[in-house]
Amino acid sequence: MRIFSEAPADNASLRRSLYQGDVFALGPTTASEALVADVRELLERTLESRDIRHAPSALDPLELFARMGRLRKTLYMEPRFHAHARAVIAAAGFDPDHVAFDPLRLRIISHLGHENPRAAPVYYPHRDTWYAHPQSIVTWWIPLDDLREEETFVFYPEAFDRPVANDSEIFDYDAWVARGWSLKIGWQDPEAGRTARYPRALEPSKVDEGVGFSCRRAQNLLFAGAHYHQTRPQALGTTRYSLDFRVVDLRDEAAGLGAPNTDNRSRGSALADYTHPAHGGT
Ligand SMILES: [Fe+2]
């Protein structure tokens, strides 16, 4: 696996390269910087502090969860953040008229968060496709700060095209969203990490053996959602924030293009609930 800092000029070539397992760490765009600035401002208001990387540790964990939950819901649902996502997608050369996207999620990786049983699923090694996403998904990841390698996540490139033992067959998209999108966005139930079943690997992995990366604020990291990856636990005394969303080029999906499926047995499809192009795509 290579991590490229430049995308091919032609978007179809970029998508093909992503489906083959290449990863692209592209520079910030005006659109991604505007998104990050807006989200940081929301975080400052939510945390009542300009020091968003330290402020969470001063709050009661359930209070923090409630505040962040409201913010997560805003990012996922509000039209202005859908517009931000569209702008970010277009700025990287994707055609918004043919791309459906699953809106923005905010990820919050706390200092010693891995010791909190409620947060356990955050650290499961996984493929995003195990959550009933199509094989053509591209995951888009944007950090809110410059981040060191120790506080991002790792890829296991050797697992891209070989099966990993997993229980993705437990994941049924329709059951997951049957009671609204609370589980999907992670905004309502602080116990979900303990009580809901998230698909997970059934074989060990060593985060130190993965391929990591450092990054700059508002960079656009793109990878196939079929990549096997894992968030790093961190004890650096600060909170790490990132945004992510998923995109599908509907022409590729219709043509059966995408990353290989080695082991994904999740049921149903998240694609119908993506935000689709106004004219229906394809
Ligand atoms: Fe993921």
Distance (Å, whole) CA 90 – CA 97: 10
Distance (Å, whole) CA 167 – CA 199: 6
CA 125–ligand 1 middle distance (angstroms): 8
Q: Please name the residue that has the structure tokens 């990291």.
A: 221
CA 282–ligand 1 middle distance (angstroms): 26
CA 121–ligand 1 middle distance (angstroms): 11
Set out the domains of the chain in order of their start, with CATH numbers.
3-273 (2.60.120)
CA 58–ligand 1 middle distance (angstroms): 28
Per-residue pLDDT tens digits of the chain, which is 282 residues long:
889 999 999 999 999 999 999 999 999 999 999 999 999 999 999 999 999 999 999 999 889 999 999 999 999 999 999 999 999 999 999 999 999 999 999 999 988 888 888 888 888 999 999 999 999 999 999 999 999 999 999 999 999 999 999 999 999 999 888 877 777 777 677 877 777 788 999 998 899 999 999 999 999 999 999 999 999 999 999 999 999 999 999 999 999 999 999 999 999 999 999 999 986 545
Distance (Å, whole) CA 59 – CA 156: 35
Q: Which residues contact 96 (CB under 8 A, 6 or more apart)?
A: 86, 89, 90, 277
CA 245–ligand 1 middle distance (angstroms): 10
